[in-house]
Amino acid sequence: MGPLGISRKEQKDRATTPGRLLLVVGVLCALIAGHHLLHSWAVGTAGFKGDPKAVPGTFLHYLSLLFYPEPLAVFYPRGQTLSHFQAHSLAKWIFLGVVVIGSGLLYFRRGMGSWIGLGIWFALAALLPFNGFLPATALPAADRYLYLALPGLGLVLLGLASLSPRGLRNGVVGLITVVLAVWWIPQVRARSRDFTRSDRLWESNLVVFPKDGVSWFNLGLFHLQDPEGSPEKALPMLEKALAYSELDQHRLKAATTLFVLHRQRGEDEKALELLDLAIRIADRLSKVHVEEALPLQRDLRLDRASTLFRLGRDEEGDQCIAEVLKLEPENPEALGWKVLRKIEIYESGRPKAFPEAVLEELHRILKQGAAKAKKEGVHPHFLLAQAEMERLKGNATSAIGMMERFRKLHPGASMDIYLALARSYLAENVPSGAIQVLRQGLLIWSYSPSLSFELGRIFEGLEQYASAESLYRRALKVRPLHPGLRKALARVLAIRARRMLATKLPQDYEGQVKEARRMDPGLPVLDFLEAHILRSKKEIRKAYELAEKAAKALPLDEEVQEFRFMLLRDLAYLDLLQKRKSAYSLFRKLVEEAPKNFPLDSVLELLKSEYLRRISKGEQYLLQGDGAQAEKAFRDALELFPDQPTAWTKLGLAQYLQKHFEEAQSTLKVAVERLISLGSDPGLALLYEIKALLALGQKAKAKKRGKLLDQRQTKALFRDSAFKLRIQKALRALK
């Protein structure tokens, strides 16, 4: 266009030149517009709604940036920008018309000022494809293509310079050049930094439009995919992209990317929410783009089914598979899932063998998708279903071979292939094969908790706890906050620490126990391990509290229970040394709760000695006539041996001495029954029980109790004739 405009000045026939020039420009613009329209149809952007009201605002936006390029944006939020462009449309049409007509008048007038008009026309013509209306585009404005208009702007500057007097022209041109350089070079230099890396580009766009969903999405994608990115920053950026995106296409991209991220983090519930949103968007888009949306609708539902099965929501997963088969009846993946689910349901009933009719039904289902699977090739769950069929026929080796071949041909097709292979190797008692497969899977899906858990479970089963610990640590470097991985590492650390109890000092495993506590504060066995550490530090009371807590949480763990009793014994002796009143209560608790094989000889001797001391103390008080102190001493004795009838008898006597006849009768009755059960003489206890009843005026009850003297079962027990005579005398007095 430039040479055509320049040649106008050199041609003698000025009347025909403008028409020829405009004709050439018009033809070029029409060709460019046609090409752009065809291209927009090909890439799918022709379906965006355009509005002619946006046209003048779009071009005035370009012109303003050409003359004052601040601020520039790589991408404009569509709704917000188009709304701004469409505002005051009539006034903008008038203003743009004035600019175009004025440029034409400048072009057709004589003199160097016509360069200005020609330059403005060229600038507008270069930006015609990006008009915001036809062909409709996803971009409301395209500042990145402003360079196309720069040659026209150069002609404008040339025209401005040519308006100056001839003698000053060089000076004016130089002055304009210097001013522009001083004014814009620093900004250009600063702006050029934004184009050195993708994240800087989108960050600069967010300075202008902080709520632009596309910018947040591309920035998040950079941090996910670029070696210089920070993956931990991606998640909040993509969440903002989902919140701010205006178009369904953009929201769909953000939702599906977030789904993948949450699935990798093992957050299946959140992943499912995002899948549900993505499916709703895809279903809306299918009303406009039927053929393009079908694969998306299908694949999203397959992902949803897989997630539901992983969450144990099998019925919803089956429904999702049915929806896929409704969209595409011969879909191999959905048919594969259907067969796998039928096998799982049937095997849950633990049949001895699959009936032939069931196998035939499964074979018919697979046959529906066989042709399509053969044509398309990569359908992992269809392959898994075929392998399962081989296994059911008794060909486990063949099933493993099928999965291995598929895995080697399509290593990244599906994580489920690796999990199924590992389980097949374990079923055939080949743990080394399972370990190898899972390790190779982790090279592809380093984020996968499922692979890490499966491999860790194998290591733990083989008692290779160091390998399990190393595995969980590597997984946590990638996903440091994953609760399942943290608990798995805590469990392994606790197992390794527990194995060191017998051979290492507590300080050797204290660090492991502390780390395990940070990873899983609620792991019960950690209380047991920390109790060992506290015992070594002579903090017996705290150690016992933790051991008791561990014993309640692990009632079937004999080692934990035994250690609790050891600490209870230690605490009782400690209280005894410190002359605490609780010492003998703790000894008594130990005797009552400890198992038969726990060594209690020294404890029992200690309790017996203290028991006799308390009985002796009570007897002294009785001789002194101090019933209250005697009662207290005998009660203290009963705390040590609650079943001793001697203590019950003496307690009753102390109560009788204080004339607490009702309490005495009740206590002495217990003493009598226990003496009889032991085959001992209950004479003294019965005598004072009867006396207490008489003091209470309960003669009938006293007579009834006196019959024990003559009953066959108890008659021979009354060996002390003195007590027997005194009882008989008291009873005769009643007559």
Asked whether residue 679 is assigned to any structural domain, the reply reads yes
Residue 622 has φ and ψ, to the nearest 5°, of -65, -45
Other CB atoms within 10 Å distance of the CB of residue 722: 10
Query: Given this model, what pLDDT does residue 277 score?
Result: 95
Structure tokens at 45: 């952007």
The Cα–Cα gap between 304 and 309 comes to 9
Q: In b/e form, how buried is each residue of 494-532, taking b as 16+ CB within 10 angstroms? A: bbbbbebeeeeebeebbebbbebbebbeebbbbbbbbbb
What does the angle CA 237 – CA 242 – CA 244 come to, to the nearest 5 degrees? 90
Q: Considering the domain boundaries, does residue 145 fall inside one?
A: yes
Q: What is the DSSP string of 357-386?
A: HHHHHHHHHHHHHHHHHHHH---HHHHHHH
Q: Residue 546 is encoded by which pair of tokens?
A: 């933790």
Mean pLDDT by runs of 10 across the 735 residues of the chain is 44 50 72 74 62 79 75 72 78 84 77 74 78 64 69 72 67 76 77 81 86 91 87 91 90 93 83 94 83 86 92 92 93 92 82 76 90 85 91 88 90 89 92 94 84 93 94 87 89 95 91 95 95 94 94 94 93 90 88 89 90 91 90 90 90 91 92 89 86 88 82 74 79 69
Q: Are residues 12 and 148 in the same domain?
A: yes
Same domain, 80 and 106: yes
The whole-angstrom separation of Cα 304 and Cα 323 is: 11
12 and 158 in one domain?
Answer: yes
Same domain? 622 vs 679: yes
User: For the chain, give me the number of helices (H) and strands (E)?
Assistant: 37, 0
**Residue 544, CB half-sphere, CA atoms under 13 Å: how many?**
16
- Residue-by-residue DSSP string for 437-468: HHHHHHHH-TT-HHHHHHHHHHHHHTT-HHHH
Give the C-alpha separation, 672 to 717, whole Å: 11
Assigned domain for 148 exists: yes
Instruction: Please say whether the dihedral angle defined by the alpha carbons of residues 126, 127, 133 and 138, taken in this order, is positive or negative.
Output: positive
Q: What is the pLDDT of residue 230?
A: 86
- Both 10 and 152 in a single domain? yes
Could you tell me the sign of the dihedral formed by the alpha carbons of 179, 182, 187, 188, in that order? positive
d(CA 99, CA 70): 21
CB within 8 Å of 274: residues ≥ 6 apart = 255, 256, 258, 259, 262
The two tokens of residue 312 are 């144990």
In a domain, 475, yes or no: no
Q: Based on the domain organization, do 640 and 690 belong to the same domain?
A: yes
Query: Does residue 91 sit in the same domain as residue 203?
Result: no
Please report whether residue 75 resides in a domain: yes
Would 91 be classed as within a structural domain?
A: yes
Q: What is the 3-state secondary structure (H, E, C) of 109-137?
A: CCCCCHHHHHHHHHHHHHCHHHCCCCCCC
Secondary structure (H, E, C), 684-708: HHHHHHHHHHHHCCCHHHHHHHHHH
30 and 132 in a single domain? The answer is yes
Per the structure, the count of domains in the chain is 4
Report the SS3 class of residue 276: helix
pLDDT of residue 355: 78
- The CA distance from 22 to 14, in Å, is 13
Which residues are CB-contacts of 324 (< 8 A; sequence separation ≥ 6)? Answer: 298, 301, 302, 305, 331, 333, 334
Distance CA 567, CA 544 (A): 6
Same domain, 705 and 628: yes
The sign one gets for the Cα dihedral 300, 301, 306, 311 is positive
- Which of these, 190, 107, 203, lies nearest to 155 by C-alpha position? 107
Show the tokens assigned to 299.
């694949």
- The model carries a pTM of 0.63
Cis peptide before 71 (omega within 30 of 0): yes
Same-domain pairing of 189 and 223:
no
> Could you tell me if residue 652 is inside a domain?
yes
Whether 616 and 726 map to the same domain: the answer is yes
Residues 137 and 21 reside in one and the same domain: yes
Segments forming the whole domain that contains residue 642: 610-734
